[in-house]
Amino acid sequence: MKYGARNKIVGKVKSIKKGDIMSMIKFDISDPCEMGSVLTTESLDELNLKPGDEVRLVIKAIHVLPVKE
């Protein structure tokens, strides 16, 4: 998949709070801090993310897009 965002960070899935429509995923990143992403539960299911998975976090405007490669 191609995406236009240029800012990329690698992180690991720390936790997932799954809702009916939207879900919240928190990521551990290399710095001693954490980032989060809110996305549709359908997208979460399609990515098949689990705690411990390594993903690339693509940052564009106010969005953090998890990309599992």
35: domain CATH number? 2.40.50.100
Task: Report pLDDT for 28.
Answer: 84
- Whether 2 maps to a domain, the answer reads no
- Whether 12 maps to a domain, the answer reads yes
The tens digit of pLDDT for each residue in 33-48 reads 677 888 899 999 999 9
By residue range, what is the domain housing residue 39? 7-67
**Residue 15 has which token pair?**
């936790």
- Whether 1 maps to a domain, the answer reads no
Please check whether residue 14 is in contact with residue 51, taking contact to mean a CB–CB distance below 8 angstroms.
yes
Q: How many CB atoms lie within 10 A of CB 24?
A: 14
Total structural domains within the chain: 1
Among 1, 13, 3, 11, residue whose Cα is nearest residue 57: 11
- Whether 14 maps to a domain, the answer reads yes
Task: Report pLDDT for 35.
Answer: 74
Our measurement of the distance from residue 55's CA atom to the centroid of its chain's CA atoms, rounded to an integer in Å, reads: 7
Triad 40, 23, 26: Cα angle to 5°: 125
Task: Report pLDDT for 55.
Answer: 86
